[in-house]
């Protein structure tokens, strides 16, 4: 041991939010334009420093969610997603960032009551491909957050957090398709999702659709973990690994 904590370095702590939602049939992330240096004028994730030494990190995440995105933290799914600590990630100082993943249902406007000017929903594909550049290591933070969301769709009821109070099975399928970035068979999805215990429960009336037969409405059920789980299709097995077996 022999650690002398009086000489241990102190670091700054920020919270960054990866707020995901569906717009159209694509997954979007909320970005803000930075008003201060460094990276002034560039796009970045909403977030900021801890307010004071007594504020918990989760507490700060809730505060930033309300301040910067105008979203009611109580109604949103919010969970820690990752920690970013590369000593050179912020040119000013040693800054550690704790990322939080938030899932929002479809919202009519980019953001209502936003504190930061220039907040906007951006397709995650544009961020992941590098078409839209982000400040700091925020592209990596988005990538990790999206991957976490993808994984959690398999074994948790996270998908319902993308939907409103009630939704059809088709709505839910769109969530899975947008987040996973693949197409699913509607008939198999329909059967599968209803076999999961406590995932969705029937909620009264039908919803008229633009075309076709009206669909039943459902609400999120009490289950948090899915049994059986909604596994992603396995990546197609390529034969490239068998080269040395010829």
Partner DNA sequence: TTAATAGTGTCTCTCAGACACTATTTT
Partner DNA sequence: AAAATAGTGTCTGAGAGACACTATTAA
Interface residues toward DNA, by CB under 7 A: 168-170, 185-188, 190-192, 194-195, 206, 208-216, 228-231, 233-234
Residue from 77, 44, 58 nearest 162 by CA: 77
Left, alpha or beta for 159 (phi > 0: left; psi -120 to 50: alpha)?
alpha
Phi, psi torsion values for 80, nearest 5 degrees:
-65, 140
Distances (CA, A) of 120 to 49, 69, 123: 21, 10, 10
239 near its own copies, rule: CB under 8 A: no
Cβ–Cβ under 8 Å, residues 186 and 209:
no
Phi, psi torsion values for 162, nearest 5 degrees:
-80, -15
Q: How far is the CB of 95 from DNA (least distance, A)?
A: 41
13 near its own copies, rule: CB under 8 A: yes
Q: How far is the CB of 148 from its own copies (least distance, A)?
A: 13
Q: How far is CA 46 from the centre of its chain?
A: 13
User: Judged by CB under 8 A, which of 17, 31, 32, 158 binds its own copies?
Assistant: 32
Q: Are strands 215-220 and 77-84 parallel, antiparallel or unpaired?
A: unpaired
Nearest to its own copies of 209, 229 (CB atom): 229
113 near its own copies, rule: CB under 8 A: no
Residue 208 contact among its own copies, DNA, none, beta carbon within 5 to 8 Å by kind: DNA
| Residue range at the interface with its own copies (CB under 8 A); choices 94-102, 105-113, 171-179, 207-215 | 94-102
Q: How far is the CB of 15 from DNA (least distance, A)?
A: 35
198 near its own copies, rule: CB under 8 A: yes
């Amino acid at each position: 041991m022999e650690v002398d904590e009086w000489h241990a370095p102190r670091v700054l702590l920020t919270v960054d939010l990866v707020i995901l939602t569906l717009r159209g049939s694509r997954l979007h992330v909320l970005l803000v334009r930075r008003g201060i240096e460094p990276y002034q004028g560039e796009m970045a994730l909403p977030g900021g420093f801890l307010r004071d030494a007594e504020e918990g990190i989760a507490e700060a995440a809730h505060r930033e969610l309300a301040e910067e995105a105008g979203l009611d933290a109580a109604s949103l799914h919010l969970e820690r997603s990752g920690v970013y600590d590369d000593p050179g990630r912020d040119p000013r100082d040693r800054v550690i960032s704790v990322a939080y993943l938030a899932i929002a249902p479809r919202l009519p406007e980019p953001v209502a009551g936003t504190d930061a000017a220039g907040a906007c929903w951006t397709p995650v594909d544009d961020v992941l491909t590098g078409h839209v550049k982000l400040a700091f290591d925020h592209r990596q933070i988005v990538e990790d957050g999206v991957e976490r969301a993808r994984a959690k769709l398999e074994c948790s009821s996270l998908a319902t957090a993308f939907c409103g109070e009630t939704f059809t099975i088709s709505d839910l399928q769109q969530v899975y398709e947008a987040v996973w970035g693949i197409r699913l068979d509607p008939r198999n999805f329909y059967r599968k999702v209803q076999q999961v215990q406590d995932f969705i429960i029937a909620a009264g009336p039908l919803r008229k659709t633009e075309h076709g037969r009206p669909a039943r409405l459902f609400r999120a059920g009490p289950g948090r973990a899915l049994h059986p789980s909604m596994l992603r299709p396995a990546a197609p097995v390529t034969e490239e690994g068998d080269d040395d077996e010829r």
